[in-house]
Amino acid sequence: MSILSTERRLRRRSARKVSRAAHRVSDKAHRVGDKAKASVQKVSGPSPNPATNLLIADVALQGATLLFRRIVQKGLLQLRFDPDKAKEIVQGRTLVQSAISYAAGRAATRSVPGLLIVSTGLVAKTILDRAVNPREASAKGHEKLLKQAENAPEDSSEPI
């Protein structure tokens, strides 16, 4: 028997062992997934109507997303501004700014061409900002954010 045939035989044996181990892991994962699925199916939502439960989940997710978005925005702004000014900037966004941001996010998450268009636009904007005098671009952005802070409602009951 040659060395090559011995090597092939050992590779096949190793491959069979790996394949068996992979099947055991896969089977275990399926069993765990089936148990989890059965547990979730036992837990009903607050309403016996599944459409209402879906609506409740959707509202909760959108609320959590909004809070998370504002927290992240405020955190990024606090790197350059004091916390009160950062809060005013986040609250001073206009409806048009929010709509454009939402539309760009939706376009980017719905399809690959949408992602490419949005990301290309963002890269182009970044290159344009860097091509202009960096101090001038920074000053323009700083001024724009301060104007946005002026749009913030005076008496805001929002926690964020």
Residue with tokens 């301060």: 146
Considering only residues 120 and 9, tell me which one the structure prediction assigns the higher pLDDT.
120
The whole-model pTM stands at: 0.56
N-term to C-term CA, the chain: 76
| pLDDT per position as a tens digit, 141-155 | 888 888 888 888 876
Least confident of 42-46, 90-94, 122-126: 42-46
**Closest CA relative to residue 151, chosen from 63, 85, 71, 107:** 85
Provide the 10 A C-beta neighbour count for residue 89.
24
Q: Please check the confidence at residue 113 and state whether its pLDDT lies above 70.
A: yes
The C-alpha atoms of residue 39 and residue 27 are separated, in whole angstroms, by 18
Instruction: Report the amino acid identity of residue 122.
Output: L
Task: Say what angle helices 50-77 and 83-91 make with each other, to 10 degrees.
Answer: 130
Q: With contact defined as beta carbons under 8 Å apart, do 71 and 159 qualify?
A: no
